Structure 1
Amino acid sequence: MIKQPVLSLLAAGVLSACSLAPTYERPEAPVASTFPTATQAGDATLTGWRNFFPDQRLQALISAALENNRDLRVAALRIEEARAQYGVQSADLLPNLNVNAGASRSRTPAALSPLGVSAVNNSYQVGLGLAAFELDFFGRVRSLNNAALAQYLASEEAGRAARISLVAEVAKAYLAERAFEEQYELARKTYESRESAYRLAKQRFDVGASSALDLRQNETLMQSARVSLATLARQRAQAANALTLLVGSPLADLPAAHGLSEQNIVTEIPAGLPSDLLERRPDIRAAEQRLRAANANIGAARAAFFPRISLTASTGTASNDLSGLFESGSRTWSFVPQLVLPIFDAGRNSANLNLADVRRNIAVADYERSIQTAFREVSDALVGRAAIDEQVDAQRAVLEAQAERLKLAELRYQSGVASSLDVLDAQRELFSAQQALVQARLLRLTNAIDLYRALGGGLVEATGK
């Protein structure tokens, strides 16, 4: 049994431990106090992604991605890895007790025996041992434990950030695939129309009713539409492949898809204040936890300059005969305190302390950069929101004007006032305006998604959770 003085010393070592780590202070946010665009106070993190994305097909894709995406799975395993590492480190805070049992049998030859006869010696022992438990007077072990805890919390925040990014990326990939699908349908209809116009132009040319120039212009437009059709078919397939990779499983048994104009994604998202991002963005919280870990490692590096005291103790019974192992008078014990005082280490401890300081400064810069990146992402999305809305309205007006121009050109051509070149040029411009409107609508939707993600939205599944 371990004696009372030993227990008292153990308790004193645990209770009197101090920490040499610097007092943690959160760095000032290196950004302005407000965003460039005035916005109402709000919290995008309270808006669930199912409420933000009403398209049921998109909801099914996001749900499947959260279940099957391999990158998100790796992020979850990183959290488990950090949790296990924290468990390993925290075990050093408490003593490790082991039950030891052993037996030995040896023979001494007569030439070496004091009695001049050979002898066989037996030894049996069993006991409870305390193996090299460090009395953490200067907080080295506790600082390492705090660093491991902060790394674990950082990995949890990184997992949340990965989840938010995945929701946004799946939504953007889905909308890109929808945009290519719409553009492909426009190109297909345009190609069919121009192919029909080319056949008609060829018939007119064959009977001498039109010139070779008109024929080649129609052929040029038809082949251009064919090029666009092939290009969009490739882009649509690649977009579907990218979406499949994000989802992590084949795209099957999904609800019907909706066009870009039917998405009804929330575009008016209040941004609040930049200071809100410190609490809402998991990537910023992860950077702060890494800073806390670096701060705690300084305490461990400082403690290395001071004496390290450890205890090894054991108690049990021992006997030459197995039958007498637990008899009266067979009790044994040992108590081995050890003190290690660094005197000369060729500058190793100083270098480790300098390394810890540098890593803390790196963590500060990383934390500040995370805040600046978040501020820029939100600002870009806010500045782009109003401009993109105006762009969509202007592009819609261009499309309407080009459609009216084509009607007028066809009337003038039928009346003999204009040439077929005017009609062909109007057709080409109308097709370009249609494609540009699809891109503008996609840009507005992806801008809303970028703002939602930048504000920390996408973590909860439904509003109110």
Structure 2
Amino acid sequence: MSGTKLVLTTLVASLVLAGCASVGPNYQRPALDTPASLGNIATQNKLAAADYISWWKSFQDPTLNSLLDEAAANNQDLVLAAGRIEEARAVAVGTNSNRYPSVDANLSASRSRTSENAGKLGAGANPVSKDFQIGLTASYEVDFWGKLARADEAARARLLAQEANRGLVQSSLYANVAQTYFSLRAGDAQLALADSTLKTRQENLRLQQKRYTAGAVGELDLHVAESETAAAEISYAQAKQAVSNTESALAVLLGRSATAITQPVIARGNSIDGLYQQLTVPSDLPSDLLNRRPDILVAEQNLVAANADIGQAKSQYFPSVKLTTTAGYESRVFQDLLNPASLLWNLGASLAQPVFRAGAIGAVVAGAEARKTQALAQYVQAVQGAFHDVHDALNNTAANEQVNAASERRVVALKDSLRLADLRYKNGYSSFLEVLNAQRDLFQAQSSLIDTKRAHLSSIVSIYKAVGGGWTKPESLASK
């Protein structure tokens, strides 16, 4: 039998011997008590079939779409998640390679001299010798107990967990960008309102100064006008500050440079009112939507890996069997190296059975089982957290809609109150303080209405985030 045929025969025989069942528990998804539906929204807003992959397009704002594309291309959290996927993939490939034979080619040459006074040489023997070798060495661990198969199962599960984790990062990123954009447009509206109010207060102060000079009003009215103007200046400065901070926060989410973060320039699209007019509520919320939620997938794949680790640990109780073989040529003369008479080969097998480890293997098994218990708890917590997130998002959406409707009615009523108060003041039936009170109440109501619209838009985004919207499962996870 030639050396090459001998190596191949040995490897094939080893692979045939490896078809044994794996020790340790096979994974089964935990049975949890979950509702069939995530709940319904009692809403006056438009209901629509949801696109959970690209939900932000329902707001019909090309600028928002562009910002989300920029974030997906440049955000460093996504870059970090992608790097972790590649690392996990490399580990999985390396772990899987252990299930196959390793074959090495060897070529060596040596020259040595033996002492003539050591009594090791025969009469007339040359003390200087040469040796040339060429051949193949193969080794293989027979996976009788599934140790290597369980290691491969765990590594693949951890790779899937990293792929799902990237989806979690992406889903959170899209939600954060959209909600920050809504905050920016609400901040722009607050700044415009503060600017308009400041101008009104400044005009009031100018008129009161004239009236005070003419003796038509007292010093109290003048000081009240001055106070209200100063308050409007404070509101304007705070609104401007909030817009600048929001722009910088959005620049970070978009993955822009340090210079662009310190001097942010963020494009604007629809106003907060325009965005609110496009608001739609997803009409279909079956509970199996949560099967696409990435953090649940991460938790389950970590549980799969922990379950496989138990099999790896238990396999250490059983013997390990390794096969080795070498085939090649050896000669002391290089020209005769490939001569059939220079052929050499050997076969080897070893079996190692742990006898006494002072409880070390049991400790490894106990540790693996404890980690599975932790992974199971984390999986249950992930499912509980998902339903909690959906509940709160639906509850907040319903509450924000009611608050918004009441806020709009309040603004309308306060506008009429201001009109009447101004009319009474001009006709001498009331003091200027009544007008200022009406202006102050209207400003606060209009500011609150802007924030309510922002909160309502954000709660809709929270619904999509709660069901894992904003990412597409890779094929490796599609059947999970």
CA contact (8 A) 2:197 2:443 kept: yes
Give the corresponding residue for 1:148. 155
1:402 maps to which of 406, 414, 418: 414
CA contact (8 A) 1:20 1:139 kept: yes
Give the corresponding residue for 1:29. 32
Give the corresponding residue for 2:209. 202
CA contact (8 A) 2:24 2:308 kept: yes
CA contact (8 A) 1:31 1:372 kept: no
Give the corresponding residue for 1:258. 270
> How far apart, CA to CA, are the structure 2 residues paired with 1:204 and 1:431?
25
Give the corresponding residue for 1:80. 86
> How far apart, CA to CA, are the structure 1 residues paired with 2:267 and 2:239?
23
Residues 1:445 and 1:140: Cα distance change in structure 2 (over 3 Å): same
CA contact (8 A) 1:147 1:293 kept: yes
Residues 1:19 and 1:111: Cα distance change in structure 2 (over 3 Å): same
Say how many residue pairs are matched: 458
Moved more, 42-51 or 233-242: 42-51
| RMSD across aligned positions (CA) | 2.3
Give the drift of 1:460.
5.3
Moved more, 96-105 or 24-33: 24-33
User: Does structure 1 residue 456 correspond to structure 2 residue 459?
Assistant: no
Give the corresponding residue for 2:363. 351
User: Does structure 1 residue 230 correspond to structure 2 residue 269?
Assistant: no
User: Does structure 1 residue 219 correspond to structure 2 residue 221?
Assistant: no
Give the corresponding residue for 1:246. 253
2:176 maps to which of 169, 174, 185: 169
Give the corresponding residue for 2:109. 103
Residues 1:280 and 1:149: Cα distance change in structure 2 (over 3 Å): same
Residues 1:259 and 1:67: Cα distance change in structure 2 (over 3 Å): same
Q: What's the secondary structure of 1:410's corresponding residue?
A: helix
TM-score, normalised to structure 1, is: 0.93
Residue deviations 1:110-155 (CA, integer Å, cap 9, x gap) = 2224347771111110101113x21000000000000001111111
Sequence identity, in percent?
Answer: 33
Map 1:28-427; keep pairs closer than 5 Å. 28-37=31-40, 44=50, 46=52, 48-49=54-55, 51-112=57-118, 113-115=120-122, 119-131=127-139, 133-249=140-256, 250=260, 256-263=268-275, 264-277=277-290, 279-427=291-439
> How far apart, CA to CA, are the structure 2 residues paired with 1:187 and 1:253?
21
CA contact (8 A) 1:271 1:455 kept: no
Give the corresponding residue for 2:476. none
> How far apart, CA to CA, are the structure 2 residues paired with 1:460 and 1:22?
31
Moved more, 121-130 or 328-337: 328-337
Unpaired segments ≥5 residues, structure 2: 474-480
CA contact (8 A) 1:18 1:139 kept: yes
CA contact (8 A) 2:310 2:368 kept: yes
Runs of 4+ aligned structure 1 residues displaced above 4 Å come to: 38-47, 115-118, 250-256
Residues 1:265 and 1:324: Cα distance change in structure 2 (over 3 Å): farther
Residues 1:402 and 1:4: Cα distance change in structure 2 (over 3 Å): closer
Residues 1:42 and 1:303: Cα distance change in structure 2 (over 3 Å): farther
Give the corresponding residue for 1:11. 15
> How far apart, CA to CA, are the structure 1 residues paired with 2:52 and 2:180?
23
Residues 1:216 and 1:195: Cα distance change in structure 2 (over 3 Å): same
Give the drift of 1:456.
2.1
AA in 1 matched with 2:319: P
Give the drift of 1:107.
1.2
Residues 1:426 and 1:4: Cα distance change in structure 2 (over 3 Å): closer
Residues 1:5 and 1:83: Cα distance change in structure 2 (over 3 Å): closer
Residue deviations 1:74-95 (CA, integer Å, cap 9, x gap) = 1111111111110000001110
CA contact (8 A) 2:7 2:326 kept: no
Q: What's the secondary structure of 1:336's corresponding residue?
A: strand
CA contact (8 A) 1:314 1:335 kept: yes
> How far apart, CA to CA, are the structure 2 residues paired with 1:39 and 1:99?
73
CA contact (8 A) 2:121 2:127 kept: no
Give the drift of 1:282.
1.8
Residues 1:89 and 1:266: Cα distance change in structure 2 (over 3 Å): farther
